[in-house]
């Protein structure tokens, strides 16, 4: 049988683009977004399949860009597109899988279902997508089910998706709006765990970043999280939220790492969890471990401004300010309104003694009232009397900031100003209160370059000792296990190869254009995971290459037979089991280096 020695495709990867809302009501956008995210989450549970994270996939929402361009940007072999139409208790979902290298359509399907069956259709779609990636790009084990019903009350699920839509706007208004929908979801089904964790997440962020009183935010978060744990303590998302609470709400890094490990045991490619571990290592001063994690999460989520910020923040703490600026610029290229990046760039320019770029930055993007503070800091740190400022005005502004405790900023400019004005006691009062309240702005205070002048003060050393980050747990969670492992011993593999060879020779199932890996596995009475593994390991091909190779051999044999001279090349291809002209021509040229017509001439 002819084969291509370089045909094995090792890149088993996919990006699920945002499904288009085709409903009459444009407000149903939340539902199509939610379905997309659920399919992404389902596919990420498959070990061995690299799935682009939501943030990067959604960067292409509403943009008419060729799939080949998207594939190159996201570094994936396949792309899923689709649409959702919801109305009158029914849902229609269309989906199509496309190769990103040449735009070839691998599979498409339309699903008309009752809205009450939404979890079943998500499972069906996810499994079908996984099957297609499986057959076209190589082996990985697939569970029998990827999506389980999380509630029997569809109205509760619908309200949860609305809340999720607003939460992912990443604004204080969005978080408060999300909580309203999560509360309504809980009211519709008090046993539905997801909205409890989601509401808890919103309150943690609102409290940790001073969008509401910290104590109030954390108290409300704990109430929701405790109930979520009672209902279901096995959700990866639940452990992630508990980790966020421990990390940002309490600075309990060991406990945060424990929960993140539990979340990653279920979904090892959840980039927000990887980012949280990187932040834990960063706060602990273990920059090397943080760097390795950041590289991994950016490979899965290359268009996340948050991830570029995390990488840039690490460079900032290491005093690599130019590299930090590059990362912040990368974040801003993705999201031009990413406010924290502007603040970090300003901080870097101050520390680099680069007043020209600082001034350009401040003139283009005023930092929520902190521009004068930045100018004064530059003047104080670098002894620049030539920078003209109204010092009384700045001091008055400083007093206002001091009263507000810098709540409107991602960076504690109010603290830095007190340090460089020489008000060290006031600076320590701010720092001690911020550390005691576990303010997100100061989680990396021990390595903050602006605080170098006070690091040797005994009060600073005591604060570092008092927060007692604890030892980060290693291997805190069990390794993820795969249902129905594919691996088999030599004797079993040999027996299946023999049975497969006999079946292909005698029954010729490859002549059926609709043959799938699962249907062939059924004919052999084995689990498809085993057949997939065997074809990849024993024949060094993926399923479609393997089957199309048999079809190609059949085509060549038939074309040499004078009895078939009345059939066209395409007719012979269809008789051999190929189901499309495009697939036939592409595979033929890949396997032989010639077009079918050129090969036929060479045979005469």
Could you write out the DSSP letters of every residue in 294-321?
Answer: HHHHHHH-TT-HHHHHHHHHHHHHTT-H
Average of per-residue pLDDT across 354-364? 92
What would the DSSP string read from start to end of 225-264? HHHHHHH-S--HHHHHHHHHIIIIIT--HHHHHHHHHHHH
Is 487 a residue whose pLDDT tops 80? Answer: no
Mean pLDDT over all residues of the chain? 86
Give residue-wise pLDDT tens across range 507-537: 999 999 989 988 998 999 988 888 888 888 8
Provide the pLDDT for residue 87. Answer: 81
For residue 59, the 8-state DSSP code is: T
Q: Which two tokens stand for residue 424?
A: 């060290």
Average pLDDT over residues 89-115: 88
pLDDT at position 179, please?
97
Which pLDDT score, from 0 to 100, does residue 6 have? 35
Task: Assign 151 to helix, strand or coil.
Answer: coil
Q: Hunting for tokens 């809340």 — which residue is that? A: 163
* pLDDT of residue 399 exceeding 90: no
pLDDT of residue 130: 85
Residue 567: predicted pLDDT? 86
Task: Output 582 or 577, whichever has higher pLDDT.
Answer: 577
What value does the mean pLDDT take over residues 49-73? 90
Model confidence over 373-388: pLDDT tens digits? 899 999 999 988 777 7
With a CB cutoff of 8 Å and minimum separation 6, the contacts of 58 are 18, 33, 36
pLDDT of 482 higher than 50: no
Helix axes 339-351, 305-317, angle to 10 degrees: 20
Query: d(Cα 134, Cα 152) in Å, to the nearest integer?
Result: 31
The whole-number pLDDT of residue 486 equals 56
Confidence band, pLDDT 50/70/90 cuts, at residue 396: low
pLDDT-derived band of residue 333, with 50, 70 and 90 as boundaries?
very high
User: Mean pLDDT throughout 242-265?
Assistant: 87
Say whether pLDDT at 109 is over 80.
yes
Residue tagged 């508990």 (tokens)? 242
Segment 104-128 mean pLDDT: 86
Residues 6 or more apart whose CB falls under 8 angstroms from that of 169 comprise none
Give the pLDDT confidence of 29-55 residue by residue, as tens digits.
888 888 898 888 888 888 888 899 888
- The beta strands (E) that lie in 512-573 are given as none
Q: How do residues 277-293 score in pLDDT, each as one tens digit?
A: 999 999 888 899 999 99
Greatest mean pLDDT among 2-6, 55-59, 234-238 lies in 55-59
For 411-468, how does the pLDDT look when each residue is reduced to its tens digit (9 = 90+)?
A: 899 899 999 999 999 999 999 998 888 887 889 999 999 999 999 999 999 999 887 6
At residue 8, the pLDDT reads: 34
pLDDT of residue 408 exceeding 70: no
Q: Minimum mean pLDDT among 3-7, 193-197, 504-508: which range?
A: 3-7
pLDDT in tens, 216-227: 999 999 999 999
Q: What's residue 114's pLDDT?
A: 86
Q: Is the pLDDT of residue 1 over 80?
A: no
Residue 78 CA to residue 71 CA, distance in Å, equals 7
20 token code pair: 């288009």
The residue-averaged pLDDT of 174-192 equals 95
Q: State the virtual CA torsion across 270, 276, 277, 279 in degrees, nearest 10.
A: 150
pLDDT at 471: 47
Residue 481 has pLDDT above 50, yes or no: no
Which tokens in the block code for residue 419?
A: 């340090």
Q: What domains are defined for the chain?
A: 13-137 (3.40.50.10610), 234-467 (1.25.40.10), 490-603 (1.10.10.60)
pLDDT of 394 reads: 60
pLDDT higher at 160 or 88: 160
Q: What pLDDT is attached to residue 368? A: 65
Q: What is the reported pTM? A: 0.76
Q: What's the confidence (pLDDT) of residue 444?
A: 93
Distance CA 514, CA 127 (A): 17
Which range has the worst mean pLDDT, 56-70, 79-93, 138-152?
138-152
In this predicted structure, the answer to whether residue 63 has a pLDDT above a threshold of 80 is: yes
């Amino acid at each position: 049988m002819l084969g291509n020695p370089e045909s094995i495709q090792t890149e088993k990867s996919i990006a699920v683009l945002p499904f288009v809302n085709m409903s009459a009501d444009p407000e149903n956008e939340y539902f199509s977004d939610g379905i997309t995210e659920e399919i992404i989450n389902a596919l990420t549970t498959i070990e061995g399949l690299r799935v682009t994270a939501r943030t990067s996939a959604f960067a292409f929402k509403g943009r008419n860009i060729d799939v080949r361009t998207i594939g190159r940007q996201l570094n994936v072999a396949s792309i899923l597109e689709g649409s959702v139409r919801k109305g009158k208790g029914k849902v229609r979902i269309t989906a199509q899988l496309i190769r990103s290298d040449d735009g070839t359509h691998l599979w498409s399907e339309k699903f008309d279902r009752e809205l009450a069956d939404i979890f079943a259709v998500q499972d069906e779609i996810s499994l079908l997508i996984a099957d297609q990636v499986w057959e076209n790009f190589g082996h990985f084990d697939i569970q029998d089910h990827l999506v389980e019903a999380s509630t029997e009350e569809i109205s509760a699920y619908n309200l949860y998706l609305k809340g999720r839509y607003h939460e992912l706007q990443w604004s204080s208004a969005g978080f408060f709006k999300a909580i309203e929908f999560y509360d309504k979801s809980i009211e519709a089904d008090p046993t539905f765990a997801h909205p409890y964790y989601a509401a808890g997440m919103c309150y943690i962020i609102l409290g940790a970043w001073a969008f509401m009183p910290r104590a109030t935010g954390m108290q409300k978060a704990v109430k929701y999280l405790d109930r979520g744990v009672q209902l279901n303590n096995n959700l990866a998302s639940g452990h992630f939220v508990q980790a966020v609470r421990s990390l940002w709400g309490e600075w309990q890094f060991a406990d945060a790492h424990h929960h993140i490990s539990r979340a990653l045991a279920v979904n090892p490619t959840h980039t927000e969890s990887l980012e949280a571990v990187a932040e834990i290592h960063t706060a602990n001063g273990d920059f090397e471990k943080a760097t390795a994690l950041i590289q991994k999460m950016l490979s899965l989520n290359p268009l996340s401004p948050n991830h570029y910020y995390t990488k840039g923040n690490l460079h900032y703490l290491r005093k690599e300010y130019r590299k930090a600026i590059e990362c912040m610029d990368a974040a801003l290229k993705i999201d031009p309104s990413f406010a924290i990046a502007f603040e970090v760039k300003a901080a870097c320019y101050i520390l680099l003694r680069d007043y020209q770029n600082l001034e350009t930055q401040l003139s283009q993007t005023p930092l929520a009232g902190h521009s004068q503070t930045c100018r004064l800091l530059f003047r104080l740190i670098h002894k620049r009397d030539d920078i003209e400022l109204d010092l009384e005005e700045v001091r008055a502004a400083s007093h206002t900031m001091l009263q507000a405790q810098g709540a409107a900023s991602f960076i504690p400019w109010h603290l830095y100003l007190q340090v460089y004005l020489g008000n060290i006691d006031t600076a320590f009062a701010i720092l001690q209160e911020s550390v005691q309240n576990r303010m997100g702005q100061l989680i990396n205070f021990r390595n903050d370059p602006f605080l170098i002048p006070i690091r040797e003060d005994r009060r600073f050393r005591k604060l570092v000792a008092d927060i007692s980050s604890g030892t980060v747990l290693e291997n805190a969670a069990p390794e993820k296990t795969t249902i129905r492992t594919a691996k088999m011993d030599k004797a079993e593999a040999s027996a299946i190869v023999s049975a497969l060879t006999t079946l292909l020779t005698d029954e010729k199932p490859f002549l059926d254009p609709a043959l799938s890996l699962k249907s062939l596995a059924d004919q052999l009475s084995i689990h498809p995971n085993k057949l997939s593994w065997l074809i990849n390991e024993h024949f060094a091909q993926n399923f479609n290459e393997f089957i199309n190779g048999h079809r190609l051999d059949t085509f060549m044999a038939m074309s040499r037979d004078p009895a078939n001279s009345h059939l066209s090349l395409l007719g012979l291809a269809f008789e051999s089991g190929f189901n499309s002209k495009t697939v036939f021509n592409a595979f033929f040229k890949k396997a032989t280096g010639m077009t079918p017509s050129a090969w036929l001439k060479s045979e005469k």
